[in-house]
Amino acid sequence: MGAKVLIIGAGGLGAPAALYLAAAGVGTIGIADADTVDLSNLQRQVIHTTADVGKKKAESAAETMRAINPDVKVNTYYTFVNSSNILDLIKDYDFVIDGTDNFPAKFLINDACVMAQKPFSHAGIIRFKGQLTTVIPGQSPCYRCIFKEPPPKDAVPTCRQAGGIGAMGGVIGSLQAMEAIKYITGWGSFLPVIF
């Protein structure tokens, strides 16, 4: 496929999404993540192994994706996504996957994708629960339509604080990959907000 998908976050959601997109033959996959692999990540971030501990997550993910499919082009961005770089990051991609774990990043991704008219899949997990929706700017409600503004600081625990079952990240991240594939191929209908 000549399609281009950007995954923001190579963690619990981005990891399974990246694996399935590489296996599906998506032509170019971007991975943006400024973190390094930690032993505590491995129960939910299945793209990394114990041998990858200490590596940049984006590089570790790229190595695994190329091992699955050497024909995939992987672009790595070892950076925090912020308001000064997000429009440049998303501009060359057909679809964006939000694999982040914090509300400021989720709202930033939403706002940039809506502004740039880029379709994207939002998702989040906590403990045994997950949520997912795909946004097609101009055709569907966006993240900010559903959640008007970020919750007050510390009102909702992060996945790191509350924990997340690895298999839940696998399920939701795989669904995000499926949403990207549906968009790329033009087959199927997108999932509404699911919790």
pLDDT in tens, 6-40: 999 988 899 999 999 999 999 999 999 999 999 98
CA distance 183 to 135: 11
pLDDT of residue 159: 64
For residue 75, what are the β-bridge partners? Answer: 30
CA distance 85 to 41: 26
Is 9 or 160 the better-scoring residue by pLDDT? Answer: 9
Please tell me the least confidently modeled range out of 61-65, 72-76, 157-161, 165-169. 157-161
pLDDT of residue 13: 95
pLDDT of residue 158: 66
Contact 53, 39 (CB under 8 A): yes
The average confidence (pLDDT) of the chain is 91
pLDDT in tens, 41-69: 888 899 999 999 999 999 999 999 999 99
pTM of the model: 0.93
pLDDT of residue 195: 53
Encoded amino acid at 66, one letter: R
pLDDT of residue 148: 82
